[in-house]
Chain A
Amino acid sequence: MSHMNELTKGIFKENPTFIIMLGMCPTLGVTTQVFNAFGMGASVLFVLLGSNIFISALRKIIPDSIRIPAYIVVIASFVTIVEMVLHAFVPAVFNALGVYLPLIVVNCIILGRAEAFANKNTVLDSALDAIGMGIGFTLALSLIAAIREIFGAGTITLFNLSETQRLVITLPGISESPVRVLTLAAGALLVMGYLKAFFIWNGERRAAKGGQA
């Protein structure tokens, strides 16, 4: 039961993007297409899982005073693995994520989970925590990307590996006169602001309901 809780808390109750507000740079930088959000989410999930397991396994060995540099080295190693794998097998994703891929190293979610969770808990709990947080992050990114792409371009890109291998749903009506600004930089900040307000409103409503019951 408690293991299940470690897994699910990252998805809704402690969603890294909307509730704890960590890791904003990649969140807004890559969410112009739904497919990029999947790519970023999967990369972060892998790095988070690897570093959480590794740090949790070494938590008794790493001296407390130099733990942050040690964590950064572990995280950077996993990011390098992701970079090399994506570069070799799916260059389209590698190019689409661009500079935001190496920037996963400084994504606060990963260092934050290492510091707040993995160095205090067992390997199994840390792995579940990483999977939950990673899925929560991916869902949040997909939501932002879906809003920006549907209203900003009138399309949903589910799959985009090359000119021939792609699956793009074009929505009639919106795609003829989209709100172009949403795909630009300003749109990302606006969408994020409104979504955050929605989640605060939702949280308050749920708290009020809980109070009455």
Chain B
Amino acid sequence: MSYIGIIITYVFIQNFILVQFMGLCPFIGVSKNSESAIGMGMAVTFVTAVASVVCYAVYTYLLVPFDLTYLQTISFILVIAALVQMVEMVIRKMSPSLYKALGIFLPLITTNCAVLGIAIINIDEGYNMLESFLAGLAAGLGFTLAIVLMSNIREKLEMTPVRRVFKGVPIAFISAGLMALAFMAFDSSLLTNLHLV
């Protein structure tokens, strides 16, 4: 698959939230206002892109040569936890303003399914290092797209009369369902039509 094909696949066709349901907890939890949604999206994008490359390297250069591939799950989650911690420290040192924007979201990302999910999908699909990086970046961008759209919808919903039992989380899920319906228009035949396979 071409590089553009990978990006389109993970941003639209296999959108992490609306199609694969990865990262639903922050999607529902952090999407109440658009500012924090953008912060969360950027933090996730950053971590998925870096984690994809690091997990690929760990798998290819450490686990495969020593025949330890059954340790995939346990090593990936440790790598991701360590990476998130390191990213937090580096950002705090290098750019206090970026840390102020992303800081509170970073600890939440370790237990975000999207990060571990993309690392495992990269291995399952047999991507090389550059493809893994692009897939991770695109998965994060897809997450950002969905969470930012969702936060705008929820800001509007605050002003809308909604039946009391549907207020908050239920209406958020139903809105997400309607968004997922719209995303069904992005089918894998799109790639064939654009000659990207």
Binding site for B on A (CB under 8 A): 21-22, 24-25, 27-29, 68-69, 72-73, 76-77, 79-80, 83-84, 99, 102-103, 105-106, 108, 111, 181, 184-190, 192-194, 196-198, 200-201, 204
Known contacts A21-B28, A106-B116, A200-B165; is-contact A193 B172 (Cβ 8 Å) = yes
The listed residue (B18, B28, B111, B163) touching A106 by CB distance below 8 A is B111
B28 x A187 contact (CB < 8 A): no
Q: Which residues of B contact A76 (CB under 8 A)?
A: 73-74, 77-78
CA distance A77 to B72 in the complex (A): 11
Q: Which residues of B contact A72 (CB under 8 A)?
A: 77-78, 81, 110
Q: Which residues of B contact A188 (CB under 8 A)?
A: 21, 177
Q: Which A residue sits closest to B74, measured CB to CB?
A: A76
**What number of residue pairs across chains A and B have CB atoms under 8 A from each other?**
124
Q: Which B residue sits closest to A102, measured CB to CB?
A: B73
B174 x A194 contact (CB < 8 A): yes
Known contacts A28-B24, A103-B113, A111-B111; is-contact A184 B184 (Cβ 8 Å) = yes
A24 x B177 contact (CB < 8 A): no
The dominant DSSP class at the B interface is helix
The listed residue (B19, B21, B78, B110) touching A24 by CB distance below 8 A is B21
CB distance from B127 to the nearest CB of A (A): 14
The listed residue (B28, B111, B116, B170) touching A194 by CB distance below 8 A is B170
Known contacts A25-B23, A28-B24, A105-B116; is-contact A189 B173 (Cβ 8 Å) = yes
CB distance from A24 to the nearest CB of B (A): 4
Within 8 A of A (CB), among B138-197: 163, 165-166, 169-174, 176-178, 180-181, 183-184
The listed residue (A73, A80, A197) touching B70 by CB distance below 8 A is A80
In addition to A24-B21, A72-B78, 19 A-B residue pairs with Cβ atoms within 8 Å of each other are: A21-B169, A24-B25, A27-B21, A29-B20, A80-B73, A102-B116, A106-B112, A106-B113, A185-B21, A186-B181, A188-B21, A189-B180, A190-B174, A190-B177, A193-B166, A193-B170, A197-B170, A200-B165, A201-B165
CA distance A188 to B176 in the complex (A): 10
CA distance A192 to B24 in the complex (A): 12
The dominant DSSP class at the A interface is helix
Which of B4-12, B42-50, B117-125 lies at the interface with chain A? B117-125
Q: Which A residue sits closest to B175, measured CB to CB?
A: A193
CB distance from B79 to the nearest CB of A (A): 11
Q: Which A residue sits closest to B23, measured CB to CB?
A: A25
Q: Which residues of B contact A84 (CB under 8 A)?
A: 70
CA distance A99 to B20 in the complex (A): 10
Q: Which residues of A contact B166 (CB under 8 A)?
A: 193, 197
CB-based closest 7 A-B pairs: A193-B173, A189-B177, A190-B177, A193-B174, A186-B180, A197-B170, A76-B74
